[in-house]
Each structure stands twice: as C-alpha cells, then as structure tokens.
Chain A
C-alpha cells in the first residue's frame, strides 16, 4: 500500500484546482454568491418588519357623545392603528371574521354617562384570535391608548396632577428600535447556513451516492485531501456572500456597523466551519442527496430561521426548546452579528459565543472523521 496517513499538498492542490474550476463554471455559483444575498437583503430590508404599526381596527361608536368621539380620535391619532369608525356593528364583525380587520373596539352606549358619574366605563375589544400575535399587540396598545386618554382628560379638567413617577426609557444600540437593524445582520446567518450546511451536504453526498468515494480509494488521493478541496471553495463563497450582505445592509439600508470587520470575518469563519462540519457529517451519514437535503433543512436551515433568536425570542420559548438552541451554531452567530453591527466588539459577549461555535465545529469534524474511517476500513 501507499502511505495512508500523510497529507500531500500536491495531491490536495491538484484536486482543489479541479473543484475550483468546476464551481466557477457552474452557473449556480453566481446564484449563491450574488443573487441569494441580494434577495435576502431586499426582503429583510423592505418586506419583513416586526414593528407592528398600522394594524387595521374598527371602532364601533354606540355612543356618539363628545367623550366617545374624543376617545375614538385618540385611536385614530396613534401610529399603531389604522382605525376606522363606524356605527354598523354587523359590518365591522363581518370585516373581522373575513380578516379585513384585526380587532373591533366597541364604545358602549352608556360610555359617557358612566364617565360623568365617575364609575367604570368598560370598553369591549373583539379580537381575531386566528392572528394571535397581532391580537396581543392590539390588546397591549389599546390599553396604552385608553390609559393615556384618561390621564390627559383628567389633567385637562384639573382633576388630577401629573403622575408622580415618569419613565425615562433609553434604548441602547438601536435607539429608534428599528427592527430592520436587527433583522438584516441576522439574515447573514441564514444565508451562511444555507451555503455551509445544505450545499456542502449535497456536494459531498453526491460523491458517496455515485460511488466516487469508493473509486477514489484506488487512487493515491486521500479522503481528507479530497474533502478539504471540496469544502474550501464553499468556505470562500460563504465569506464573499457575507461581504455582499454587509455592504448592502450598511450602504443601502443604513444599518450601523460599530464593530470590527476583522472580528466579523473571524466570527463568520467560525460559523462556516461549524456549518461545513455539519454538512459534512450529514453527507457522510446519509450518502444520499435527497436524504442529505432533507436532514440539512431540518438541522441547519430551519433552526437558523426559527430557533436562533433571529425573529423569535429564545427566552420566550419553553425550556426544552431553549436547551436545543444551545446546540445550534446559528444561535451564537446571530448574537454575534447583531452585536458587531449595533454595539461594537464586546469581547465579553463575543468570545464565549465564538468558542461555542468552534467547539461545535470540532465536534462535527471529529465525528465525521470517525465515521469516514470506520466505513472505509
């Protein structure tokens, strides 16, 4: 036998060159490197927003007194609601069940009488529970609007003084709470897990599927040389794609970038290592592209979307799911990305997350190495 254990740079380089040319000639490479990041940035920049404003609600005026109108005007004035007033109960209810309104606020006929008597004057809000998140927003904001209105009226009539305690909120890193500033950095993690996990899983599974891994055994090239040659181009595709995302976010959408580009590249490299390792492991275990694709979506892409804290807050999830998120490199990467963009390089936050990603990457590579060796012996 030829020497098994050594790593020949020459062999590796020859194979790398072949892979490199293959990828450059593949038209889908441009899709990965340019179209995908462009698309993501545009969607997150323009389309996706967590800032609930202009929620459509209806106000049913059963009472037409000045008090009732004044309260309705308070609702019309806030930017959170796109309110319309009406006297037609059935019309509003139909609009609510048909999904054209998300809530209906009823100002009951005895509203002003109750207020004048100084007793409780309950309002009714009917919500569309099938849009659960929106329904909760409406409830919270409506309470705020009503409380402000009550206070304002009382002060106007000199019935009360200013509140003894006021809140002075200061928001760090993102003073206007623009969700785009958070979503755009986070979307980098999604593209990276797509390139890192999914595409590598497929490209390596393909070699297993077609039997070229076994065929390679009769040639001098070693498996690790070959895998490395396959992974490196995707690593650089990922970095390139990340660069485009960052440039677009910062220039086009004016997301602040307060950290260091060097740390950003370091963090992305660590994440890509973990993602590539995951893709490699999946392909080694499945040896079938369809299966590898499905598993990568389940273990790489969708978790990066749903469980990374990118859109949905991790601390609000039930604890077993919170526990799962610690195993996901995307969780750490999203935190780092949001921090590097908005708060600068805070090593106390970034370092543990970097180490976690490296640990996950090591775990994947060691497991892959074991599985590969075992199967070929």
Chain B
C-alpha cells in the first residue's frame, strides 16, 4: 500500500459521500412543497409566536358590582378605568350576573362593594372590597391581584392623608434592566425561537431521512452500494447540518431586521456553538431514524424527544421554578444550554468563557448521541 493509494481511497470515499449529500439535499429541495416547508412555516412561526409568548397580563376584563352609592367606591372604579391594564369594564347589578360572567370567562376578576362601603370609611372604620378571581387562569389571577393591590395602596394613602393621618412617604423603587432596558419580551422570545425552530427542523429532516428510504425501498439500494455504514451516516448528517444552519441564519436575519433584536456578542462564537448544538440534535434525529421503520414512527420519536426538551429547557417556564431534583436533568438537554448561549450572545455580549462553559456539555451530548446513532445504525444493518 502506498501513500497515493490511501489518498485515492480517501478521495473516492469522500466523493461517494459527496454524491449522497447532493442527493439528500436534492431530495428535500427539488420538491416545491418540501422547499416551501423548509422556509415558509418557520418564518411564520417566528412572526406569530414572537408576539404570543408572554406571561404578562394585559387587556384585562373586569366586572364591577357596586351597591355603594358613595364617593369612595366610585373613585376606586375610576382609578381602575384609568389603569392601562384594565381595558374591558362591565357593570353588574347583582351577584348572579357576577357569577355568570366569571363562569363563562367574560371577566377574569370582579369587584364587589357592599352598601355601607363609603359610610364605613367616613366613620374611620375598615371597609372591605371583595375581589372574586377566576382560578382557572392561575397565572393571570395572581398578576391581577398584584395590579389591584398597587392601585389600592395608593388610594389608601390618599384617604389617610385626607383624614389627616400622618403617613410615611412611600419608598420608590428605581429599576433598571440590563440587556433589555424596556423589558420587551419580544427580545427574549425571538432568540429562543431561533434555537427552537432550528432544532425542530434539524430533528425532522434527520429523523425522517432514513425511514423515508426504508418506506420507499431505496434503503436496500444504499446498502448494496459501495458506501460503508459510517459513510451513509455522514451522508445523512451533513445535509441536515447544512439545512439547519441555513435555516437558523435565515431566522437570525429576520430577528435582527424585523424584530430589531440587538446583537451584542460574537457572531463566530454563536456559529461555533450552534454547530455543536445542531450536531447533538442531528445525533438524536439519526438515532430515531435508525430505530424507526416508518416516517410516522420517526415523527412520533421526534415528539417524544422534543416535548420534554422544549418544556424543560427553561423557555416556557424558568428552570428555577422546577423542583430541585429535576433541575440537574435539564442539563442533559442540549437546547437548555443553547438557549442560554443564544440569548447571551444576542443580548448580553456573553464572554467567551461563559459560552464555552455551556458549549462543552453540548459537545459531550453530541458525541454521545452521534455514537449511539452510529452503533444503532450498525446493529440494525446486521
């Protein structure tokens, strides 16, 4: 064996992988509909979901059942009307109407003032304002209680001052938010969505690639070709990586231009970590692909992986809220790390050290998932 012989072997190996890569890309790209789903849906999802994913509560519908003819309840209602959070205000005449409105979710919250409400305050006695909340909206109910408390505290102070009671000045809180001064949640959601949508695509492309060939019977043809199993694997891996990296580039361009998300960090670092992240995902996809017999099974497998991944990644709800025993497991999810990185590089100018700290776990996961896929692939071929 001479050196040139080895070189030629390596060259033929590469050129046959290259042929497979071109074929894989064409398989997705040639078909007009597939080409559309690579570009259309992710863009639409980015635009729609960017505005949907807020835990903020605004445009609140509130009901008022006021039996009091006095000034205090009237003034409080005026303050509710003046608040930017409460946009729909309904007046109710009896408690039956209140019950019905809350039952049917016409209002989220309702205030009831008793007949003697203002009289009690005049007489320096404590008056109660009943607040009924819809517990089926647990998050919103909590936040609305907060808004009402705020309005009430101000009102209470003013009443006390009116009554000639000495009240301490309120302590002001000056807040300043780093990285996102206006606390605009779109700036938080969009980088996360870039990661999530690229993940979905990378998973689907790889998970379905082998099972499609199995269904069409072309997989056997691949097996009798001179390609080695590892060459087939690489031939499936590279096109998926190209498609997914292209997709995330497209989404990032949109994020920067359409949503004006600031980009403060290093683009090269982002691409490097994205490469590692997508490798780990492609590994999962190939593993699913190697077990699945049909494309339907592939999709099912994708979802069994994707659903916990998305829910536990810290995107929908913070990881801090999860029970302590569960929190370490979130480190096994590649996108947990990538979300930290992509948000960090977009908004926080994350230093290289921190990026690397979150990249190496993904690299470990990538090595693990890719080897698992390779092992499974080989086992299935025998």
The contact string, 1 if C-beta is below 8 Å from chain A, for chain B 38-64, is 100100110011011111111111000
Q: Does A113 contact B (CB under 8 A)?
A: no
Q: Mark B318-344, 1 if CB is under 8 A from A, else 0.
A: 101111001000000000000010011
Residue of A44, A164, A190, A198 near B159 (CB, 8 A) is A164
A-binding segment of B7-15, B277-285, B292-300, B368-376:
B292-300
* Pairwise interchain contact B321-A52, C-beta atoms closer than 8 A: yes
Residues from chain B with Cβ under 8 Å of A166 in the complex: 126-129
Q: Please, how many angstroms separate the alpha-carbon atoms of A47 and B181 in the complex?
A: 30
Kindly report which residue of chain B lies nearest to residue A143, judged by CB atoms: B173
**Cross-chain contact A123 with B160 (CB below 8 angstroms):** no
B332-382 residues with Cβ-Cβ distance < 8 A to A are: 340, 343-344, 347-348, 354
A173 within 8 A of B: yes
Taking the closest CB of chain B, its distance from the CB of A157, in whole angstroms, is 9
B170-A173 in contact (CB<8A)? no
How many angstroms between the C-alpha atoms of A353 and B150 in the bound complex? 35
Known: A46-B326, A50-B55. A168 touches B169 (CB 8 A): no
| CB-contacts of A12-31 with B (<8 A) | 26, 28, 31
**Binary CB contact string for chain B from 206 to 231 against chain A (1 if under 8 A, 0 otherwise):** 00100010011000000000000000
State whether the Cβ of B83 lies closer than 8 Å to any Cβ in chain A: no
- Report Cα–Cα, A190/B296, bound state, in Å: 18
Q: Any chain B CB within 8 A of the CB of A130?
A: yes
Closest chain-B Cβ to A235's Cβ sits at a distance in Å of 16
B326 near A289: Cβ-Cβ < 8 Å: no
In angstroms, Cα B28 to Cα A127, docked, is 45
Q: Chain B residues near A118 (CB, 8 Å)? A: 168-169
Given contacts A159-B168, A163-B156, A168-B128, contact A130 B347 (CB under 8 A): yes
- Tally inter-chain residue pairs, CB-CB below 8 A: 363
Nearest chain-B residue to A315 (Cβ)? Answer: B59
Contact flag A170-B297 (CB < 8 Å), given A140-B143, A349-B105:
no
Alpha-carbon gap, A47 to B333, bound state (A): 14
User: With A31-B300, A306-B49, A315-B61 as given contacts, are A349 and B104 in contact (CB-CB < 8 Å)?
Assistant: yes
A120 in contact with B312 given A130-B343, A288-B33 (CB within 8 Å): no
CA distance A49 to B320 in the complex (A): 10
Interface flag for B167 (CB, 8 Å):
yes
Binds B, one of A220-228, A268-276, A340-348, A360-368: A340-348
Once A206-B215, A291-B33, A306-B53 are accepted as A-B contacts, the answer to whether A170 and B136 lie under 8 Å apart by CB is no
Establish whether residues A293 and B177, one from each chain, have CB atoms under 8 Å apart when the complex forms.
no
B116 at the A interface (CB under 8 A): no
Residue from the list B129, B136, B216 in contact with A165, Cβ < 8 A? B129
Is the pair A290, B204 in contact by a Cβ cutoff of 8 Å? yes
Across-interface contacts of A46 in B (CB, < 8 A) = 322-323, 326
A127 touches B175 (CB 8 A): yes
**Is B51 in contact with A321, judged by CB distance below 8 angstroms?**
yes
A250 within 8 A of B: no
CB pair A133 B52 closer than 8 Å? no
B78 interfacial contact with A, CB 8 Å: no
Interface residues of A in 112-146 (CB under 8 A from B): 115, 118-136, 139-144, 146
Chain B residues contacting A321 (CB-CB under 8 Å) are: 48, 51-52
Give B132's nearest chain A residue, CB to CB. A170
**Which stretch from B184-192, B234-242, B251-259, B268-276 is at the chain A interface?**
B184-192
Bound complex: CA A291 to CA B41 (Å): 10
Comparing A3-11, A238-246, A295-303, the segment that makes contact with chain B is: A295-303
Nearest B residue to A162 via CB reads B126
Q: Is the CB–CB distance between B321 and A51 below 8 Å?
A: yes
Q: Knowing A28-B296, A129-B179, A132-B184 are in contact, say whether A122-B172 is a contact too (CB < 8 A).
A: yes
B188 CB, nearest partner CB in chain A, Å: 4
Whether A127 lies near B177 (C-beta < 8 A) is yes
CB-based contact A198/B299 at 8 Å = yes
* Chain A residues, CB < 8 A from B216: 210
Say whether chain B's binding surface is mostly helix, strand, loop, or mixed.
helix
Residue among A28, A170, A313 making CB contact with B57, cutoff 8 Å: A313
Contact A160 B136 (CB under 8 A): no
Report Cα–Cα, A50/B175, bound state, in Å: 23
User: B246 in the interface, Cβ–Cβ < 8 Å?
Assistant: no
Does any Cβ of A come within 8 Å of B72's Cβ?
yes
Q: Is A338 an interface residue (CB 8 A)?
A: yes
Complex alpha-carbon distance, A362 and B72, angstroms: 52
Which residues from chain B contact A97 at a C-beta distance below 8 Å?
178, 348
Given B45, B316, B323, which contacts A311 in the complex, CB threshold below 8 Å?
Answer: B316
Q: Nearest residue in B to A169 (C-beta to C-beta)?
A: B131
Q: Which of A206, A291, A318, A343 contacts B51 (CB 8 A)?
A: A318
Instruction: Let me know if A167 and B183 touch, CB within 8 A.
Output: no
Q: Is B166 an interface residue (CB 8 A)?
A: yes
B304 at the A/B interface (Cβ < 8 Å)?
yes
Given A150-B168, A297-B200, A316-B56; A49-B321 close (CB under 8 Å): yes
Q: Are B177 and A53 in contact (CB under 8 A)?
A: no
> Pick the contact of B322 from A49, A139, A165, A289 — CB < 8 Å?
A49
26 A-B contacts (beta carbon < 8 Å)? A50-B138, A53-B321, A55-B318, A115-B168, A119-B169, A131-B188, A133-B55, A135-B177, A135-B180, A135-B183, A142-B173, A153-B168, A169-B133, A170-B130, A170-B133, A171-B132, A171-B134, A179-B138, A182-B139, A203-B296, A288-B33, A290-B34, A293-B299, A298-B41, A312-B54, A317-B51
The 4 A-B residue pairs with the shortest CB-CB distance in the complex, in nearest-first order: A129-B180, A174-B135, A129-B177, A294-B37
Chain B residues with a Cβ under 8 A of chain A: 28, 31, 33-34, 36-38, 41, 44-45, 48-49, 51-61, 72, 76, 100, 102-105, 108, 121, 124, 126-143, 145-146, 148-150, 152-153, 155-156, 159-160, 163, 165-181, 183-185, 187-188, 200, 204, 208, 212, 215-216, 294-297, 299-301, 303-304, 307-308, 310-312, 316-318, 320-323, 326, 340, 343-344, 347-348, 354
